[in-house]
């Protein structure tokens, strides 16, 4: 079993600052953000990586190996304080080498002859000109889970050519809750940068799907804009019903200076007090203005 390391405050060690690419300072300076923590993990031993490769008959890409030789997994979180309530918001995670497990291909239920993920395979939606071939749940692909995304899907390291898995045949894909695949990056390094620059905002991976992020998540994106090239996230037509929140106003202190109210208003000279008198318009009756019927 893995030993649980105590959470550390950001910036407590220089190598943690390098691991997070300095994103902790940006978060700590953002309005409302509190409790930015990183759970420090010891580097993985080389024999642990070799054992994983032999067990799974797959060669890890060099950037994945280098990551685990620096830290055996990664977990960084940050919260937001609204009034007197603290809300967990950002979460960045990479599974440790021992939890880099193959996506479960056993029966989805404990009943006999229950369907498996391979039974859900659909070959009708293959690769297009701008989209690489999607992973397969059967033996054509080997899939390992990098991050469970807090139940919002799975980020996976995919070997496209099955076993034996070659390091150059890997890609990073996102599997949503409806079991549809969405391409993220060609390399683990590129995915790690996406993870950091999106600040671990909830469901950020859905920004790379055809249906995008939900209106609720878009509220958080508007408040804590990701440091990413994908700026069209916040300029879609759905913005018409998304509130534009100003963090400086949301988290503003409630201790405002009291402004004395005026007891009365000064009326201009000649103004009448009380209700107005009868109208003297052309419609009023009289000898000179007979009423026309």
Task: State yes or no: cis peptide before 164, omega within 30 of 0.
Answer: yes
Q: What is the pLDDT of residue 22?
A: 81
CATH number of 14-103+133-224: 3.40.1580.10
Residue 248 or 77, more confident: 77
How many angstroms separate the CA atoms of 212 and 217, rounded? Answer: 10
pLDDT-based confidence at residue 1 (cuts at 50, 70, 90): very low
The kind and range of the H/E element at 47 are helix 46-56
pLDDT-based confidence at residue 162 (cuts at 50, 70, 90): confident
Q: What is the pLDDT of residue 151?
A: 92
Strands 170-175 and 154-159, by their bridges, are antiparallel
How many angstroms separate the CA atoms of 171 and 188, rounded? Answer: 8
**The tokens 């209700």 sit on which residue?**
275
Q: Which residues of 127-144 are buried (b: 16+ CB within 10 A; e: fewer)?
A: eeeeeeebbbbeeebbbb
How many angstroms separate the CA atoms of 121 and 137, rounded? Answer: 6
User: pTM value?
Assistant: 0.71
Radius of gyration of the chain (CA): 30
pLDDT digit string, tens, across residues 233-280: 444 444 444 445 455 554 555 555 555 555 555 555 555 555 555 544
Rounded to an integer, the average pLDDT of 91-105 is 91
Rounded to an integer, the average pLDDT of 135-159 is 94
Q: What is the pLDDT of residue 111?
A: 57
For the chain, report the end-to-end CA distance as a whole number of angstroms. Answer: 98
Residue 44 or 128, more confident: 44
Residue 223 or 111, more confident: 223
Q: What's the chain's average pLDDT?
A: 77
The helix/strand/coil state of 142 is: strand
């Amino acid at each position: 079993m893995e030993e649980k390391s105590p959470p550390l405050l950001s910036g407590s060690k220089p190598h943690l600052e390098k691991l997070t690419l300095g994103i902790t300072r940006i978060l700590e300076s953002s309005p409302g953000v509190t409790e930015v923590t990183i759970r420090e993990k010891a580097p993985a031993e080389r024999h642990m990586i070799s054992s994983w490769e032999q067990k799974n008959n797959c060669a890890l890409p060099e950037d994945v190996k280098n990551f685990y030789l620096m830290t055996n997994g990664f977990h960084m979180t940050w919260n937001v304080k609204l009034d007197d309530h603290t809300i967990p918001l950002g979460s960045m995670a990479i599974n440790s080498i021992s939890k880099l497990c193959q996506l479960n291909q056993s029966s989805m239920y404990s009943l006999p002859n229950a369907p498996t993920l391979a039974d859900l395979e659909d070959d009708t939606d293959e690769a297009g000109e701008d989209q690489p071939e999607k992973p397969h749940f059967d033996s054509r692909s080997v899939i390992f889970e990098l991050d469970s995304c807090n139940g919002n899907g799975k980020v996976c390291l995919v070997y496209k050519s099955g076993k034996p898995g070659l390091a150059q045949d890997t890609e990073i894909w996102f599997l949503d809750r409806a079991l549809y695949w969405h391409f993220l990056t060609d390399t683990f390094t590129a995915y790690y940068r996406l993870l950091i620059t999106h600040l671990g905002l909830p469901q950020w991976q859905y920004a790379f799907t055809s249906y995008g992020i939900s209106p609720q998540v878009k509220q958080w994106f508007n408040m804590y804009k990701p440091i990413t090239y994908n700026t069209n996230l916040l300029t879609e037509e759905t913005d018409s019903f998304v509130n534009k929140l100003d963090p400086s106003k949301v988290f503003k202190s409630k201790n405002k200076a009291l402004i004395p109210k005026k007891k009365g208003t000064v009326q201009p000279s000649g103004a009448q007090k009380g209700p107005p008198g009868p109208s003297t318009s052309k419609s009023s009756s009289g000898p000179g203005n007979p009423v026309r019927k």
